[in-house]
């Protein structure tokens, strides 16, 4: 009986996580492609848990919605929680690099092309003037937090939602 009562919680949590993770990574992509913020290597790495987590959370929603064994949805949501824990680690690491608490990777640069010109005639000039982003410099701070700092909060919250859905008894 308790497993049947958990289905709506599992479904709603999985659906919420799918949408919320898509919003988080979509916001990052928006800042890159619309706002012109060029991501560094660590910024790009922080997106990977979301890229992996969205389809996993969606599979959990489908499994719960189709009334499959709740163990399947719980297992998938546990994977989402683990991915968000990894995202939390990456965000804390990157934030620490930005605050100069520890050293970042020696090869921190990106192949992203945001901000480069679309004029083929000026391509060489643009390549000479564009400075690749550094992992130890925050592209911007909003309410005192960098993008990495905001990712720490998002990963923590989404991981908590996933873990709660896994552990809830009723």
Which pLDDT value is given to residue 5?
52
DSSP-derived secondary structure letter, 116: -
Instruction: Spell out the alpha helix ranges (H) of 34-112.
Output: 41-65, 70-98
Q: Beta partners for 145?
A: 142
pTM, to two decimals: 0.81
Q: What totals of helices (H) and strands (E) does the chain contain, helices first?
A: 5, 0
CA 59 to chain centre: 18
Which pLDDT value is given to residue 2?
46
> What are the two backbone dihedrals, phi and then psi, of residue 129, each rounded to the nearest 5 degrees?
-95, -20
Provide the 3-class DSSP secondary structure of residue 145: strand
Contact present, 136 and 100 (Cβ < 8 Å): yes
Neighbours of 147 (CB within 10 A): 25
Which pLDDT value is given to residue 88?
97
Which secondary-structure segment (H or E) carries 119? none
Contact present, 133 and 109 (Cβ < 8 Å): yes
DSSP-derived secondary structure letter, 122: G
Which pLDDT value is given to residue 8?
87
Which pLDDT value is given to residue 37?
83
115: left (phi over 0), alpha (psi -120 to 50) or beta: left
**In the chain, where the domains are located:** 2-102+123-167
The pLDDT averaged over each successive group of 10 residues in the chain (170 residues) is 64 96 95 86 94 97 93 96 98 91 76 53 60 73 86 97 88
Q: How far, in Å, CA of 21 to CA of 53, rounded?
A: 7
Which pLDDT value is given to residue 124?
63
């Amino acid at each position: 009986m308790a497993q049947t009562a958990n289905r709506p919680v599992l479904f709603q949590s999985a659906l919420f996580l799918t949408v919320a993770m898509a919003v988080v990574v979509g916001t990052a992509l928006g800042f890159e492609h619309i706002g012109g913020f060029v991501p560094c290597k660590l910024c790009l790495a922080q997106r990977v848990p979301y890229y992996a987590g969205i389809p996993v959370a969606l599979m959990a929603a489908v499994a719960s919605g189709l009334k499959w064994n709740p163990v399947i949805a719980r297992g998938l949501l546990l994977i989402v929680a683990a991915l968000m824990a990894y995202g939390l680690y990456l965000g804390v690491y990157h934030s620490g690099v930005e605050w100069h608490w520890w050293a970042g990777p020696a090869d921190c640069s990106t192949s992203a092309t945001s901000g480069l010109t679309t004029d083929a005639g000026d391509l060489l000039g643009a390549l000479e003037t564009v400075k690749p982003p550094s992992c130890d410099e925050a592209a911007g701070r909003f309410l005192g937090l960098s993008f990495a700092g905001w990712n720490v909060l998002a990963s923590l919250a989404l991981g908590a939602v996933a873990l709660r859905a896994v552990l809830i008894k009723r």
